[in-house]
Amino acid sequence: MKFPISDHDPVEQRPPYTALAKAYDVMMSHVDYRRWAVYMVQMFKREGIREAVPFLDVGCGTGRFIERMAALGWVGEGCDPSPEMINIARKHFPEARFFVDGLPELRRVPARRYPIITCLYDTINYITDPEQLQQSFRRVCEVLPPGGIFVFDVVSESHCRQHFQHYADSEVITKALAYSRESHYNSSERIQYNWIRIYTPEGIFEEEHQQRIYPAAQLRKIIKKCSGFTITHMYEDFTLQAANSYSGRIHFVLKKI
């Protein structure tokens, strides 16, 4: 990777999704957000929601999913704990409302405003403490109206072993921006590690991202402890088929009792 800054220059550590925000959309250009949106609408209809209703996307990032949902007639709002990601979302799609917030707190989310809450593309895996994950489910349940649904997905251990056991990529985006990424799955810890470096004229910034890989059985136990939810479906990777032990990604659909 050719770039004016050398890997020998000092590297400044940054929290996740701060320096990365500038390069995020390019790094994730392989993600088909339209496919995600169409799939979510299919799920909603299967839950009896035939017409578009307001929804909240937690961990919305740069807002690409909300933009695709809007193209299908669904009006959504988004929150993310990263101010840098929210700033990009606001600039890219000013028609939608974006605000800084995240799990497990959701301090700025009013109760019963959204009949649907989504939390997609590994966001739940970023909650690495099982107790915080339980708090997150409880908080989502609190803000949903009775009968509201919560849709989230997680990646499985088989997915990490197949795609991210030892993974590396890099790209020069512009003359003033580049990134490199290395990934490793630690099976004994059940943690997926991602080290990302962002190269800018201001310097080199590095972020360490950690994701816990939760077995489906553990997630079911945590959800059950919240008592306010029932699991209506567990779908296998972008299908309406039941997930199994070989599924690379599992989509959970919870309904507030």
CA-based R_g, the chain, Å: 18
- 44 three-state secondary structure: helix
Distances (CA, A) of 97 to 71, 90, 105, 126, 128: 15, 8, 19, 23, 28
Choose among 138, 147, 56, 146: nearest CA to 105. Answer: 138
Amino acid identity of 77? Answer: E
Structural domains of the chain ordered from first start: 11-25+159-211 (2.20.25), 29-155+214-256 (3.40.50.150)
| Cα gap 17→77, rounded to integer Å | 19
DSSP string for 72-93: TT--EEEEES-HHHHHHHHHH-
| Cα gap 28→25, rounded to integer Å | 5
pLDDT at 240: 96
One pLDDT digit (tens) per residue for the chain, 257 residues: 455 556 567 999 999 999 999 999 999 999 999 999 999 999 999 999 989 999 999 999 999 999 999 999 999 999 999 999 999 999 999 999 999 999 999 999 999 999 999 999 999 999 999 999 999 999 999 999 999 999 999 999 999 988 888 899 999 999 999 999 999 999 999 999 999 999 999 999 999 999 999 999 999 999 999 889 999 999 999 999 999 988 999 999 999 99
Distances (CA, A) of 141 to 74, 94, 250: 22, 29, 20
pLDDT at 1: 46
Residue whose tokens read 């690379």? 248
pTM above 0.75, yes or no: yes
pLDDT at 4: 57
pLDDT at 6: 61
Cβ neighbours, 10 Å, residue 107: 9
Rounded to a whole number, what is the distance in angstroms from the first to the last CA of the chain? 53
Strand order in the sheet with 116-119: 98-100, 76-80, 55-58, 116-119, 149-155, 249-256, 229-236
